[in-house]
Amino acid sequence: MRQGRLGYNSSNDRYGLLSADLWIDTGFYCGECLEVLVDGKWVETRMEMDAARNWYLVGTPYRGDLEYIRARI
């Protein structure tokens, strides 16, 4: 499993997974599964976008600015 933090990739307008400053995954598509850290526990989720074009993580409190959220794939 690869672990890092979410970061916005302006070259493809998607959130990807970074380790230090290197891309592990350059951008998630809607419906792609990952795990994120919520209150110290890893939670399975998927990346989605609402009608207002805001990214969010299903089943988590994370919506809009997802920068720096700890994640793994």
Beta carbons within 8 Å of 8's beta carbon, 6+ residues apart: 14, 15, 16, 66, 67
Distance CA 43, CA 22 (A): 23
Q: What is the pLDDT of residue 9?
A: 97
* 30-49 pLDDT tens trace: 999 999 999 999 999 999 99
Partnered with residue 23 across adjacent β-strands are 18
Contact call for residues 70 and 38 (beta carbons, < 8 A):
no
Mean pLDDT for the stretch of residues 3-9: 98
pTM score of the predicted model:
0.93
Walk me through the domains of the chain, giving residue ranges and CATH numbers. 3-72 (2.40.10.390)
What integer is the mean pLDDT of 4-16? 97
Residue range 3-26: average pLDDT?
Answer: 97
Q: Return d(Cα 10, Cα 69) in angstroms, integer.
A: 17
